[in-house]
Chain A
Amino acid sequence: MKQSTLFAAMGLAVAGFSAPSAAETAAPAADAIVIPAPPKGKGEVVFFRSGTFIGGGISCAVSEGGKKVSSLPPGEYFIAVADPRKHSYAVSSEVTNSLNLEVEADEVQYADCHVKMGILAGRPVLAPATVEAFTAQSHKGLKMVSASRMGEGALRPDGTTSSATAPAATPAAPK
């Protein structure tokens, strides 16, 4: 009797672990996110972060030249609008990780942030990514970072940026 109770409990435990994944596969995929074209003469870099629970508590705030561009919580993305030239974006934890990118006028590039294991804590890492990788993540329900967590040069949901040098981009859906 005790043995059967034990097996039943184990079965429930296994079902409990597997249930969420079954629900996830059954859930319909989210629509792909459409990135608006950059403002004329500017380029865009789309930073995104998968929604994995590993390293979820580690900050992936992206900065350039010591100025915050935007926070980047798990499962979210933001669009940095920038002048066409070489840019150096950075994320920091126990060490700083930076990524140089060549921003081209009228083009969109992608970069992802993932957290790898560190000695004391997880370390955020920036790496170039592809539109396919972004689209795959967008089907899993990526959301745009809220405007309150954005800094200079990030495209707000209303199609504006806070930077005086970066004019407002054409929003995907005009008001």
Chain B
Amino acid sequence: MRIWIAGAALVLPVLGAQAAQVGVQPGAGATPGAQGLSPAAAVSPPVASVAPAPPAAPVVPALTPVSLEIGADLGSKTSKSGDTFPIRLHEAIVIDGKELVPAGATGMGEVVEARHTGMSGSSGILILAARYLDISGHHLRLRSMHLAENGTSRIGTANGLGIAGAVIPGVGFLALLTSGDDVSVRSGSVAAAKTAEDFTLITSSGALPAASAAIASKETTQ
């Protein structure tokens, strides 16, 4: 009898060590492991021998505000819809006092709309969107960068000249030649955006948590 109890006491630390290796939550993973034990061992609460769970992987929640720096000169005259441009994290992402993503992380933005000034007073238009930041090879998707700029429109002036052109010959052509202003965004300009979804950061062991793995697999299929 004494020998049997001593054997059970030896088995328990081994089970505890196995549970710790896979990072099982306290009280959750010990029960299945105890199924193959003798009745005396199963009755003994194994909680005390299970290693504490590793700290949860840090998560950048969806809709976290981020400050971005535009990495190229853009303009309604020089850019084209669909062009991409570099962006850079201007200020570190800090959650609950912890810096999760340091400033300087790079990523990509896209020119959603670029329209050069036209005849009859229409202004230039430039609409930009932030797409993602590259965090350790994975994309932290971004949204809500509303850096939409309109140049000064002179459509009212041109329309006025057009009306005058009905009375005074030749003035109508001035209306057609009137143009608005173009828009430009200088490299280094700072814009606000938000994160598009929860993003779980990679743990120190290198394992990719489930959420990030899902994101990574989605990106590779696109």
> What is the predominant secondary structure among interface residues of chain B facing chain A?
mixed
B150 located at the interface, meaning its Cβ lies under 8 Å from any Cβ of chain A in the complex:
yes
B112 touches A100 (CB 8 A): yes
Of A101, A109, A116, which contacts B120 at CB under 8 A?
Answer: A116
Q: Which of A8-16, A26-34, A117-125, A134-142 contacts B (4 or more CB under 8 A)?
A: A117-125
Chain B min CB distance to A118 (Å): 7
A127 located at the interface, meaning its Cβ lies under 8 Å from any Cβ of chain B in the complex:
yes
A133 closest partner in B (C-beta) = B150
A127 touches B120 (CB 8 A): no
A114 located at the interface, meaning its Cβ lies under 8 Å from any Cβ of chain B in the complex:
yes
A126 closest partner in B (C-beta) = B125
Name the A residues within 8 Å of B162 (CB-CB): 117
B143 touches A104 (CB 8 A): yes
A117 touches B112 (CB 8 A): no
B107 located at the interface, meaning its Cβ lies under 8 Å from any Cβ of chain A in the complex:
no
A116 touches B155 (CB 8 A): yes
Which A74-128 residues sit within 8 Å CB-CB of chain B? 84, 86, 99-102, 104-105, 107, 109, 114-119, 123, 125, 127-128
B125 touches A128 (CB 8 A): yes
B175 located at the interface, meaning its Cβ lies under 8 Å from any Cβ of chain A in the complex:
yes
A55 located at the interface, meaning its Cβ lies under 8 Å from any Cβ of chain B in the complex:
yes
B127 touches A100 (CB 8 A): yes
A residues engaging B (CB < 8 A)?
54-55, 84, 86, 99-102, 104-105, 107, 109, 114-119, 123, 125, 127-128
